[in-house]
Structure 1
């Protein structure tokens, strides 16, 4: 439903966000910390799927506040293309299959990820201006 260009556009609406590259992948950061990044599957990821078909299309990883938030997001948004893989066990981030996520849902997820690292004054000013 959305593309990486849509991600770029939506992230561009968040103050003090910059695009960087980490591990050869596009990453979007605030206050020097990545909150969203391209996350194609590695060979090891694909091997773990075995006979199952892994999600296709572009995949985005987005930070969440903590592991409890991760579980809540996965429970609430599984039908919108949100999922996880064993490599992300114990890590406060979710994966999003961009071909399945509605733009408004992605916008909210990116905002939540941005809020994890955004300086409090910047976050407050942005939220107050919405």
Structure 2
């Protein structure tokens, strides 16, 4: 089981990663986001920053679909992210080792 503190620790250990001020977490490298808190939007309600869900840069739509379809207990997507190389990850469902792998991969693609 992982949480926002694990995301922060892992992301900040990567070279040149910076945290952008946010109500949750938001990490970038070279000006490009690689992992951040999920800004949940519900019709007619204000946006809610979910620190139990991470948005990960995954490179392309094919990789996103592979993750979402292959591991639906960990990954999901929402209509507003259609066509974007971003997948949502349920932090309480992922191990810290797997989270480290996923964040490192996202960082590599954006660095």
TM-score normalised according to structure 1 size: 0.73
The question of 1:116 aligning with 2:109 is answered yes
Matches within 5 A, 1:4-19: 4-19=4-19
Q: Quote the residue 1:60 is aligned against.
A: 54
In structure 2, which of residues 83, 86, 108 is the aligned counterpart of residue 93 of structure 1?
A: 86
Q: Quote the residue 2:42 is aligned against.
A: 43
CA distance, structure 1, for counterparts of residue 102 and residue 51 of structure 2: 18
Q: Deviations over 1:74-125 (max 9, x none)?
A: 233323x21111111111000011111111111111111111211xxxxxxx
Cα 1:9/1:34, change in 2 over 3 Å: same
Query: What is the total number of aligned residue pairs between the two structures?
Result: 106
CA distance, structure 2, for counterparts of residue 78 and residue 101 of structure 1: 12
Q: Quote the residue 2:69 is aligned against.
A: 75
Cα 1:73/1:84, change in 2 over 3 Å: same
Structure 1, unpaired ranges of 5+: 47-55, 119-130
| Paired residues of 1:57 and 1:97 also in contact (CA < 8 A) | no
Structure 2, unpaired ranges of 5+: none
**SS at 2:102 equivalent:** helix
Q: Which has the larger radius of gyration?
A: 1
